[in-house]
Chain A
Amino acid sequence: MKKKEVLVLEELLGSNKKIASEIREKLGKKGILTINILGSPGAGKTSLLERIAERLKPDYKMAVIEGDIETERDAERIRAKGIPAWQIITGGACHLDAKMIGNIFPEIPADLDFLFIENVGNLVCPANYDLGENIRCVLLSIPEGDDKPKKYPKAFTTSDCLIISKSDLLPALPFNLEHAQKEALEINPKLEIFTTSALKDSKINELIEYFLSALHKLRQKNA
């Protein structure tokens, strides 16, 4: 028996990263800004997308990829707003990966402005998978508690933007907004933070401005 040691030094998620980079480059060349939205089940990801859709629809073209373990429900909610949506049913998998987005890629219209990807509701696993996005947003809803950024560091350190959702519940729950913002910035000083309510339609405009400015920058870069 002959033994041999081989130095490999390969990233375990290297193939996902490669596919993601290709997606980012192709979508970027078309001038499409891609936004990956992470958050726990029930954090309000789909409700936020409904509000975003209402705001963007008159002037911009957007589409949504929905990731869920089961059902078409989220995609149906988005389609009801007149927005094209694809549903990825993972059948148990707790996250989307770049290959799943790559499978939909040929169907994505070239004239889009924004492609939103709503990840499977989960604050852990999706954080490891680059989907080819330009901006990663993590949602933290008021009922989840203000201690989450440090409990789920990967989701918060890999995100560009933190959306504290369901702000209409602040008067009812012992959520310390300042504490949550402070802790989030301690683990990721570059986070842009928005405190929104999809139900009361609060501060959605600020978020839209942020996306529009990122779209502008992407197109300038690729011009």
Chain B
Amino acid sequence: MHELSIVASLFEILEEKAKEQKAKKIISVKLKVGALSGVIPEFLETAFDIYKKDTIAAESTLKIEEVPLKIRCQRCDTEIVKDDFVFICEKCDSRELETLSGTELLLEKIELEV
């Protein structure tokens, strides 16, 4: 599982931001995790709790917003939320689709004590 590596990357950003803001500690961390992001939110939570010990985020809570896979058909303009990862338009059968959301793996915001 690569969630621990991803959490390590998260902490690089967290420490940089906390320093920038001269924060005493990080209170909460909010992530956006897409259905097709390739990571499992529960594993991220576990990895976060292991990693946060003895860091500026030691007492912080992690909030994860799970973002469904949403696509738009470029032929008929229909927007569909997909739970099967089948990239075919349900309305017109087109395979020309644009992914609107669902692949993100994003640090959205943090709450700090300054």
Contact = CB atoms under 8 A, between A and B. Distances in A.
**Centre residue among A3, A9, A13 by max chain B CB count within 10 A:** A13
Contacts of B31: 12
Contact of B107 (A10, A94, A95): A10
Interface string B47-89: 0000000000000000000000000000000000000111110
B113 A128 contact: no
Interface in B1-35: 1-2, 5-6, 9-10, 12-13, 17, 21, 23, 27, 31
Contacts of B95: 189
Contacts of A15: 9, 12
Contacts of A4: 21, 23, 111-114
A3 B88 contact: no
Contact of A12 (B9, B84, B87): B9
Interface stretch (A22-30, A103-111, A132-140, A150-158): A150-158
Nearest to A153: B85
B95 to A, nearest CB: 4
B27 A3 contact: yes
Contact of B110 (A6, A95, A128): A6
Q: Chain B interface: which size bin?
A: 20 to 34
A16 B23 contact: no
Given A3-B113, A8-B17, A10-B13, A125 B2 contact: yes
B91 interface: no
A74 interface: no
**Centre residue among A12, A13, A15 by max chain B CB count within 10 A:** A12
Interface of A: 1-16, 93-95, 97, 124-125, 127-129, 150, 153-154, 157, 186-189
